[in-house]
């Protein structure tokens, strides 16, 4: 199968489609022109930059460069997962980054060392970077939803939790319904997408492989692997962030430290 490489002119043609958004914004006075411009510039610049960085990393092919790249990706994902939460508590950032790191690296390591044991070096950027990227991108959702649900539900159910504690429930017993709900909601999106994958959406990685000329059945095998990696990393990450946050908000004296849970300043 042949693979058609895009020229910069081809890319510019596609980028021209942004004029449609601009025209709508002007016609309906949405006042989004500036944002649109910024978004277009960011998309182009960020992707070009990453393209150059990856080109360089692929060419140099050293394990420490790959590891550095993976670490930066993990930090950004961890930061993003917590940034969207509209509540704050001491230790939230650390919890989120640790959960993101442990879950996604564990699962990606399993993929690189066990599933893809035939690839030679584990740090081959061609495998390590896109695999971790996909795992991170999805674990981010689970962690973000889990964290947001836990902190908003705990704030909402303060009275219920306090009355359980006052009646002799341990901190685990008092928080368990909320913990369960947070983990369940965190895992929901990936379960949903596992239900409809291939029927409703063709996932990005599979699309990419198809465009690159991989036979569909081969691309599908990779996609199946990736779906399970994502599902397990999301589960681990959600459980980790919910448990760590629970331990921050409930102390050893079985007290719910509601005062630590503050609203994000707008």
Partner 1 sequence: MILKAENLCRCNMVTREPLLVEVSMHIAGGERIALSGPSGSGKTLLLRALALLDPLSAGNVFWNGSPVQGGCVPAYRAQVAYLQQQPVLQDESVESLLRQPFAWKTHAGKHFSKERLEKWLALLGRRSSFLEKRSADLSGGEKQIVALLRIIQLDPHILLLDEPTAALDADSATAVETLVADWLAESQPQRATLWVSHNAQQAQRVADRQLRIQGGRLLREEVSV
Smallest distance from the beta carbon of 147 to partner 1, in angstroms?
21
Measured from the CB atom, the residue of 163 and 201 that comes closer to partner 1 is 163
**Pairwise CA distance, residues 142 & 96, whole Å:** 11
In whole angstroms, give the CA distance from residue 9 to residue 254: 64
Judged by beta carbon, residue 87 or residue 221, the one nearer partner 1 is: 87
Could you tell me if residue 24 is left (phi over 0), alpha (psi between -120 and 50 degrees) or otherwise beta?
alpha
CA distances from 256 to 75, 99, 222, 240 (A): 29, 22, 45, 19
Least spacing, CB of residue 67 vs partner 1, in Å: 40
**Long-range contacts of the stretch 157-164 (C-beta < 8 A, 24+):** 158/256, 158/258, 161/256, 162/256
E strands in 6-136 = 87-88
In the complex, what is the shortest distance from the CB of residue 245 to partner 1, in angstroms, rounded to a whole number?
Answer: 17
Q: Does 266 bind partner 1 (CB under 8 A)?
A: no
Closest CB to partner 1 among residues 143, 261:
261
Contact by Cβ (8 Å): 112, 134: no
By CB under 8 A, which span of 51-59, 103-111, 165-173, 215-223 interacts with partner 1?
Answer: 165-173
CB 85 within 8 A of CB 95: no
- The H-assigned helical ranges of 84-215 are 92-110, 125-156, 158-166, 171-196, 204-211
Q: How far is the CB of 249 from partner 1 (least distance, A)?
A: 12
x-marked contacts with partner 1 along 167-206 as a string, rule CB under 8 A: xxxx--x---------------------------------
Task: Considering only residues 71 through 130, tell me which ones interact with partner 1, judged by CB under 8 A.
Answer: none
Among 157, 178, 238, 239, binds partner 1 (CB under 8 A): 157
Shortest distance in whole angstroms from residue 232 CB to partner 1 = 31
Min dist CB 253 to partner 1, Å, is 5
Q: Which of residues 221-260 bind partner 1 (CB under 8 A)?
A: 251-257, 259-260
- Of the pair 89, 222, the CB lying nearest partner 1 is at 89
- By CB under 8 A, name the one of 57, 130, 160, 214 that touches partner 1: 160
Q: How far is the CB of 149 from partner 1 (least distance, A)?
A: 17
In whole angstroms, what is the distance from residue 223 CA to residue 228 CA? 9
Report the C-alpha gap between 43 and 103 in whole angstroms.
28
Binding site for partner 1 (CB under 8 A): 157-160, 162-170, 173, 251-257, 259-260
């Amino acid at each position: 199968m042949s693979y058609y490489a895009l020229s910069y002119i081809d890319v510019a043609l596609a980028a021209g489609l942004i004029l449609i958004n601009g025209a709508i914004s002007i016609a309906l006075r949405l006042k989004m022109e500036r944002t649109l411009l910024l978004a277009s510039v960011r998309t182009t610049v960020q992707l070009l930059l990453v393209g150059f960085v990856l080109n360089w990393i692929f060419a140099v092919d050293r394990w420490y460069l790959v590891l550095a790249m993976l670490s930066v990706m993990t930090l950004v994902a961890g930061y993003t997962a917590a940034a969207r939460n509209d509540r704050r508590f001491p230790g939230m950032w650390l919890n989120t980054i640790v959960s993101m790191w442990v879950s996604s690296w564990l699962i990606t390591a399993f993929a690189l060392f066990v599933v893809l044991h035939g690839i030679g070096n584990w740090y081959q950027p061609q495998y390590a970077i896109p695999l971790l990227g996909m795992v991170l991108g999805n674990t981010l959702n689970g962690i973000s939803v889990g964290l947001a649900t836990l902190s908003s539900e705990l704030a909402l159910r303060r009275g219920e939790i306090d009355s359980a504690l006052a009646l002799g429930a341990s901190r685990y017993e008092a928080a368990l319904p909320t913990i369960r709900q947070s983990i369940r909601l965190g895992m929901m999106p990936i379960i949903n997408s596992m239900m409809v994958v291939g029927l409703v959406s063709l996932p990005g990685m599979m699309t990419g492989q198809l465009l690159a000329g991989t036979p569909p059945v081969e691309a599908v095998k990779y996609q199946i692997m990736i779906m399970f990696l994502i599902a397990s990393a999301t589960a681990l990450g959600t459980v980790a962030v919910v448990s760590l946050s629970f331990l921050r908000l409930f102390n050893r004296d079985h007290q719910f430290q509601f005062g630590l849970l503050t609203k994000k300043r707008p």
